[in-house]
Amino acid sequence: MLETGGIVTEFHSKYPGDPSNFPKRNRIVAGLSSATVVIESAISGGSLITANLANDYSREVFAFPGNIDRLQSDGCNFLIRKNIAHLITCAEDMAEVMGWEKPTVTEPEQTDLFELPSVEEEKIIAVLKKMNQLIHIDELNKKTEMELGELSLNLFNLEMRGKVESLPGNNYRIA
């Protein structure tokens, strides 16, 4: 599967994708994954079903905390409050819990020339470069005009690729 990909399902290949079957599909995904990260979810969102399945399978669950006034944050905040999910604010949080160590690099690393940033990621990078200083996630949220969940996901992806650095207090800068 690592070399050529694959499909894991319990449905026939011509079976239509029905939303009522998503929890069954997510059960497989949760079982195959080492960890589940919930970026944003309402209290009854499908992400919570997957997170609870992952927890039942003794997999690590992570959730980004959200604004207490937003319904889309209720699920993440619930998972954190009930100790189902680790609170995550940056890639280092996840790496620490998962026991991932940063490799020691003695020579410069060639970046992937074919991995182009998305439009949203470009927007974030442009704001960070323009500010040329630490910027709090709330300020970044205002300047990019992105939903907080979308912003968090893009920051996480940029951080995992080494493009953005997360610092204490929900501050970010170009890596």
Tell me the sheet residues that pair with 167.
Answer: 171
CA 7 to CA 80: how far, in whole Å? 31
Q: How confident is the model over 44-69, as a mean pLDDT? A: 92
pLDDT above 70 for 1: no
Domain limits, the chain: 19-98, 119-174
- Write the pLDDT tens digit of every residue in 74-125: 999 999 999 999 999 998 999 999 998 876 767 666 665 556 778 888 999 9
Query: Could you write out the three-class secondary structure of 37-90?
Result: EECCCCCCCHHHHHHHHHHHCCCEEEECCCCCCCHHHHHHHHHHHCCCCEECCC
- C-alpha torsion sign, points 164, 96, 86, 57: positive
162 — pLDDT class (breaks 50, 70, 90): confident
Give the pLDDT of residue 14. 74
CA 120 to CA 33: how far, in whole Å? 26
With beta carbons less than 8 A apart as the criterion, state whether 164 and 175 touch. Answer: yes
- Write the pLDDT tens digit of every residue in 32-55: 889 999 999 999 878 899 999 999
- Model confidence, pTM: 0.56
Specify the fold of 119-174.
Answer: Arc Repressor Mutant, subunit A (1.10.10)
Q: How confident is the model over 15-41, as a mean pLDDT? A: 85
Tokens of 174: 């170009």
- Write the pLDDT tens digit of every residue in 111-161: 655 567 788 889 999 999 888 888 999 999 999 999 888 898 899 889 888
Name the residue type at position 84. I
58 — pLDDT class (breaks 50, 70, 90): very high
User: Is domain 19-98 given the CATH code 3.40.50.450 in the classification?
Assistant: yes
With beta carbons less than 8 A apart as the criterion, state whether 87 and 93 touch. Answer: yes
